[in-house]
């Protein structure tokens, strides 16, 4: 596994944990956690891709 894959996994789990905390406090609904975590992971993936392409130049 390369560093970006590991970082992506850590971000996804971090967002899931954060979502669990927000659900337990009643701030968001359980179904929203998947959407938020997926969106966050996608955004981080795009940012990492852009960063890697800029560094490679």
Q: Report pTM.
A: 0.67
CB 8 within 8 A of CB 40: no
Burial code of 19-56, b = ≥16 C-beta within 10 A, e = fewer?
beebeeeeeeeeeebeeebeebbeebeeebeeeeeeee
pLDDT digits (tens, 9 = 90+) for 30-43: 888 888 888 888 88
Could you tell me which of 55, 19, 52 has the C-alpha nearest to residue 34? Answer: 19
pLDDT digits (tens, 9 = 90+) for 3-33: 777 887 888 888 889 989 999 999 999 888 8
């Amino acid at each position: 596994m390369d560093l970006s894959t590991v970082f992506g996994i850590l971000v996804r789990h971090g967002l899931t944990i954060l979502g669990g905390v927000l659900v337990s406090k009643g701030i968001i609904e359980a179904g929203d956690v998947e959407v938020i975590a997926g969106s966050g992971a996608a955004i981080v993936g795009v940012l990492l891709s852009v960063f890697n392409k800029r560094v490679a130049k």
